Amino acid sequence: MQDKLEFVGFIIFLKLFKILPYSLAEKLLAKIFVWGGYYLGIRRRVAEQNLQMVYPEMSNQQRKKILKKMYYHLGITSAETYLANFKKLVSKTSFKGKENIEKALSLQKGVIITTGHFGNWELAGRVMALHWPMSVVIKKQHNKYFNDYTNKIREQGGMKIIYKKRALRGILKYLKQNYLVCLLIDQNARKNGMKMDFLGKPASVFIGAAKISIKTQAPIVPAVIIRKHDGSHSICYEEPIFPTNYQNNMTDIKKYTKEINSSLENYINQYPEQWFWVHRRWREPNRARR
């Protein structure tokens, strides 16, 4: 019952915002996120600790600026996801390195897209699904109503959903059909990961992308979506990484994972305000199994 009431409240909130012109609703929602996140302190302490650990050379003022921009960015992302006209968003989204996807798909092994909670990651998948067969691995939300509502938005462009629990079967199925399979690799893997550095600090890192790539010989294309100053988006695809240089052993899997992660790390360092710093990314790295 509580889940349903929360969802009804959310829908009423959206309907009120949809009365407003979109540009005003977007700015208002972004300011609400800054107010709630930065000034009320929702997950602020976690984000501050993360930023201080990764960028100790920065002044407090510089880190505060990144933090405020991050909350503002998350507000814009939410507005784009739940309030914006999808066709207008598509018209403002460009590709960089599209040929890298075509090159990887030409092998007919499927392609593993590795990315993170960066830019408007929700928009990236929806737009990509308009151009190629596309699936994404996600964690099922606790609230069924939110989960179903958000998945309908994700599926607008034809994207297929694979739930994280028992995801391997779905991943292998879609790779065999020469799909793009998107994996978000930037969160804490806890006991399921391998201990290695992420952004220069020890973390439990997911190694599934490397293991599946070696097993299936599907190439990996690291990708991110970047929000530009004019409000448009650019989806950037790096050169494919082919598994042919790696063997199915833990030493090679670790090397492969480091190569995969380095692309995302570079983008985070370049656009720190567009990454999801509120996640407990570096919590208990020693829980990693390996």
Span 251-271, pLDDT tens digits: 999 999 999 999 999 999 999
**Do residues 67 and 51 touch, judged by C-beta distance below 8 A?**
yes
How many structural domains is the chain composed of?
A: 1
What's the CA gap between 196 and 170, in Å, rounded?
A: 27
Tell me if 148 is assigned to some domain.
yes
Helix (H) or strand (E) holding 254: helix 250-270
As given in the structure block, the two tokens for residue 13 are 């909130």
Tell me if 198 is assigned to some domain.
yes
Span 84-130, pLDDT tens digits: 999 999 999 999 999 999 999 999 999 999 999 999 999 999 999 99
Tell me if 216 is assigned to some domain.
yes
Tell me if 121 is assigned to some domain.
yes
What's the CA gap between 70 and 60, in Å, rounded?
A: 15
Provide the residue range defining the domain that includes 274: 88-287
Helix (H/G/I), strand (E/B), else coil: 196: strand
State the DSSP code for 143: S
**Do residues 28 and 79 touch, judged by C-beta distance below 8 A?**
no
Span 219-231, pLDDT tens digits: 999 999 999 999 9
Query: C-alpha 289: how far from its chain's center?
Result: 24
pLDDT tens per residue across all 290 residues of the chain: 898 999 999 999 999 999 999 999 999 999 999 999 888 888 899 999 999 999 999 999 999 999 999 999 999 999 999 999 999 999 999 999 999 999 999 999 999 999 999 999 999 999 999 999 999 999 999 999 999 999 999 998 899 999 998 899 999 999 999 999 999 999 999 988 999 999 999 999 999 999 999 999 999 999 999 999 999 999 999 999 999 989 999 999 999 999 999 999 999 999 999 999 999 999 987 777 66
CB atoms within 10 A of CB 288: 20
Helix (H) or strand (E) holding 92: none
Tell me if 25 is assigned to some domain.
no
Nearest C-alpha neighbor of 153 from the set 252, 286, 10, 290: 10
Nearest C-alpha neighbor of 244 from the set 86, 102, 107: 107
Tell me if 219 is assigned to some domain.
yes
Tell me if 205 is assigned to some domain.
yes
Tell me if 153 is assigned to some domain.
yes
**Do residues 251 and 101 touch, judged by C-beta distance below 8 A?**
no
